[in-house]
Amino acid sequence: MKRSGVFWYGSLFIVLLAVTAGGGYAADKAPTIKIGLLLDLTGPIGPGGLDMQKGFTLGLEKLGDTVAGKKIEFIVEDDASDAGISVDKARKLVESDKVALIIGPINGGGQVAVGQYLERVHVPQIEAMMIPREAARRWSFGTVGLQVMVAYGPGIYAHDGLGYKTAVALAADFVPGHDFIEGFKMGFEGRGGKVIQETYYPEGTTNVVPFLTALKQADVLMYWGTPGDCFAMFPQYKELNMKMPILMPEDGGVMASPGMLKNLGKAAAGTVFGTAYLYNANIPGNEEFVEAYQKKYNELPGVMSGVGYANLQLVWAALKANGGNTKPDALYKALKEVSVDTVRGHLSFPAGEGGFGTIANYPNHLGKISADFEIVPILPVHDIQANFKNGKWLPYVAK
C-alpha cells in the first residue's frame, strides 16, 4: 500500500513571499533579496541537504551575489527531514525573515505540507528535485518533475535502447517506489514491453534476500530504493549470483553521486540509471562548474549539488529578466516565462496551466556504472525526456 514518507531525493522549492496573515510581501524596491534555504541538513536526508547547500554556496560565488543591482542574502534553516518542522521553518522564513524565495525542503512529507501552506498564500515555488503528485500545484514550478516522469524516459530506453521485452520490478513500499515503477511501466509498456511482476518490500528493510529470490526471470530487473536500501540490495544480489541486468529509473541518491557510489563497491557494476544531473555530461557550462566545485570542495559534485546550482541559474535568470521584482505576481510571471541553459541542460516551462502544477520541459539524464566502476553517460542525454504539458504526456522522440 502506498504511504507518505521521508524520501531521499524529494524536491527543492523556491518560494516567493506573498500576502500573509502576519505581514505584507517583500517590497520590489528593497536593496536586498532574501532567499531562504530550507534544507534537510540533519536527519535521514542530511548528506543530500549538505551537498545541495554546497551547490548553492558555489552558485552564489560563481553567478554573483548581486542580481539586477540587488544584493542576494541566503537565510539557512534546517528542517531535520521532519514535515512538521518544515512548515514551521517555512512560516518563519516567510512571515518573520521576509524572504522573497525559499529553496526547500527536500523530504517528501515536507514537500507536501509546505506546498499546501504556500499554495494558500499564493506563493510560487521552484522545486529542484522530483516530487510526488500530491506536492504539485499551480504555484509550484517543478524543475525536475514528478516522480512518475523521472522514470518514464528510462522505461522507454529499456525497450528501445536496450531491447528488453520483459521486466520485473522491485521497490521500497512507499510513495516514491510506487511512482517510479508506475512511470517506468508507462514508458516500457507503452513501447510494447511487459512488466511481469511487481514486488515491494517494507521501507528500511535490510534483508531483501527473500524478495530477490521470489522474483521471476525476465530480461531486466527494474529496481528502486533509498541509499540505505541500495547498500543492502546490491551486495545481496551479487551474493545470490543473480544474472538479470539492473536498471534504476532514478539513481536512488547513490548511482550518480561519486561520493556515495564509492561506498557501494563493485556490486552495482553494469547498472543503468536515470538521474537529474551527471557531473560528466557533455552540457555547455557543466565542465566549468565541475572544475570550480572540485577546487572548492576537493570532490566531484553529485546530483544534489548539480541540481542546486542549476536552480540558482534559473532563479537568477528570472530575477534579471524582471529587474529583481520580488512581488508575487511579477516573479511568478518571470518564472513562468524563463528559458535558460543550466548545467543540467535547458530548462523552460510550458505555456498554460498543467493538471499537476507547472512542470518543466526538463532533461532526464541516463548513465551506466562501468566494469571498472566509473559513471558513464549514455549519450545523448538530452534526448531522454518525458515532457508534460496541460495534463498530458507529450510524445517521446528518440534520435
> Is pLDDT above 70 for 28?
no
Q: Do 32-144+284-359 and 148-275+364-393 show the same overall fold? A: yes
The confidence score (pLDDT) of residue 363 equals 64
Q: What is the pLDDT of residues 257-275, one digit of tens each?
A: 888 888 887 788 999 999 9
Residue 5: how many other CB atoms lie within 10 Å:
19
Q: Roughly what angle, to the nearest 10 degrees, separates helices 83-91 and 108-120?
A: 30
Structural domain spans, the chain: 32-144+284-359, 148-275+364-393
The confidence score (pLDDT) of residue 353 equals 60
Residue 253 DSSP one-character state: T
Q: Give the model's confidence band at 395: pLDDT under 50 very low, under 70 low, under 90 confident, else very high.
A: very low
> Is pLDDT above 50 for 54?
yes
- Strands 365-369 and 272-275, sheet pairing: antiparallel
32-144+284-359 — its CATH code?
Answer: 3.40.50.2300
**Do residues 313 and 345 make contact, with C-beta atoms less than 8 angstroms apart?**
no
Angle, alpha carbons 230-253-182 (nearest 5°): 80
The confidence score (pLDDT) of residue 357 equals 56
Q: What is the pLDDT of residues 111-163, one digit of tens each?
A: 888 888 888 887 777 776 888 777 777 777 888 888 888 888 889 889 988 99
> Is pLDDT above 60 for 10?
no
Q: Give the model's confidence band at 66: pLDDT under 50 very low, under 70 low, under 90 confident, else very high.
A: very high
148-275+364-393 — its CATH code?
Answer: 3.40.50.2300
State the Cα–Cα distance between residues 60 and 54, nearest whole angstrom: 10
Q: What is the mean pLDDT of the chain?
A: 83
Widest CA span in the chain:
64
Q: What is the mean pLDDT of residues 387-396?
A: 49
Q: What is the pLDDT of residues 325-377, one digit of tens each?
A: 999 888 888 988 888 999 998 888 776 665 445 666 666 789 999 988 889 99
The confidence score (pLDDT) of residue 48 equals 83
**Which positions ≥6 away from 376 have C-beta within 8 Å?**
367, 368, 369, 370
pTM for this prediction: 0.85
